[in-house]
Amino acid sequence: AQSVTQLGSHVSVSEGALVLLRCNYSSSVPPYLFWYVQYPNQGLQLLLKYTSAATLVKGINGFEAEFKKSETSFHLTKPSAHMSDAAEYFCAVTTTGGGNKLTFGTGTQLKVEL
């Protein structure tokens, strides 16, 4: 079985500050990991994905995430927050034996303040 835990349902940062959204996964086999972003009243959009190539993955809008097997983590970061980054962020995991269905975390709502 696979699962994802996102620590912090709400994160608030100042504009220009570092963004760090935490994701830990549980999987008995090598995982594929994803971060999705959801803006209000919209569907989910892929930010970035880890598929066993480079452990540091760069995505859209200046976001990146690092896969750390020893910590079973895939935290999402951005050096400098922008007001437009305010949204809900979901971490997700799937595996080769997972039937290709993604298991999502419960999401982290990011608020960016002036």
Partner 1 sequence: GAGVSQSPSNKVTEKGKDVELRCDPISGHTALYWYRQSLGQGLEFLIYFQGNSAPDKSGLPSDRFSAERTGGSVSTLTIQRTQQEDSAVYLCASSLGAGQGQRELFFGEGSRLTVL
Q: CB atoms < 10 A from the CB of 16, how many?
A: 11
Q: How far is the CB of 94 from partner 1 (least distance, A)?
A: 6
Q: How far is the CB of 110 from partner 1 (least distance, A)?
A: 15
100/20 Cα distance (integer angstroms): 27
Site string for partner 1, 24-63 (x = CB under 8 A): --------x-x-x----xxxxxx--x-x------------
36/60 Cα distance (integer angstroms): 11
- Report the DSSP pairing between strands 108-113 and 10-14: parallel
Stretch that binds partner 1, among 21-29, 55-63, 64-72, 93-101 (CB under 8 A): 93-101
CB distance 100 to 94 below 8 Å:
yes
Residues that bind partner 1 (CB under 8 A): 9, 32, 34, 36, 41-46, 49, 51, 90, 92, 94, 96, 99-107
